[in-house]
Amino acid sequence: MDKNSTLLVACGALARDVIDLRDAHGWSADITCVPALLHNTPSKIAPAVERKICAMREHYTRIIVVYGDCGTSGELDAALARLGVERVAGPHCYEQFAGAGYERVMDATPGTYFLTDFLVRHFDALVWRGLGLDRHPELLADYFGNYEQVIYLAQRDDADLARRAVAAAERLRLPLYVQPTGGGDLETRLCAFFATPIDYASQVLSV
């Protein structure tokens, strides 16, 4: 393993997107992921990312975390500051894909539920069964009664994912709007990391 290489520590929900971006741009980087299910327990995200970094950092000169704050209330950034590790900007993947459009939507319609390719693909496991709606459909109003719409932030032009998004919105009994994003601001921000000269001496390699 090249000790001057880059490691991307990504949220599992972004794994496919990060792999595609790396391959499309030809970045020299390895990728490892933290389980996406940790979003259900945000307090576990920072410790899990820190363990991953500590286990692998001796093999890499640069580590970039591809994760939003994702409900950690700053704990993730605090852990990364202790370790001297960089993170792609953004509070969560919705903003990372939609950019400034996310805030515009939330200002206009706060009751918006967002889907990404990952959430569409895993809607049954993460949302329907994950929230117990398969066993207790009467909870739908409790969980989603205050939502007004679903916006699908589509990273790919994929007919199957589009059909799944329609089905998900129908199950939530909400109107669906599709916003193609491609790699969005996530791609822009990662490109900036790889276009910037790396100051290897600035990396804190001891824990």
CATH code of the domain covering residue 22: 3.40.50
Query: Which residue stretches of the chain have pLDDT < 50?
Result: 1-2, 197-207
Domain span holding position 34: 6-92+184-202
Task: Look at residue 204 in the predicted model and tell me its pLDDT.
Answer: 34
Residues 6+ apart with CB under 8 A from 15: 31, 33
Tell me, yes or no, if the pTM score tops 0.75. yes
112 exposed, middle or buried (CB, 10 Å; 0-12, 13-18, 19+)?
Answer: middle
Alpha-carbon distance of 92 to 89, in angstroms, equals 9
- Are residues 149 and 195 both part of a single domain? no
- Are residues 74 and 50 both part of a single domain? yes
In a domain, 207, yes or no: no
Task: Look at residue 197 in the predicted model and tell me its pLDDT.
Answer: 43
- Are residues 105 and 163 both part of a single domain? yes
Task: Look at residue 40 in the predicted model and tell me its pLDDT.
Answer: 82
- Are residues 64 and 75 both part of a single domain? yes
- Are residues 28 and 130 both part of a single domain? no
Cα Rg for the chain, rounded, in angstroms? 18
- Are residues 24 and 75 both part of a single domain? yes
Task: Look at residue 130 in the predicted model and tell me its pLDDT.
Answer: 87
Please state the domain count of the chain: 2
- Are residues 46 and 122 both part of a single domain? no
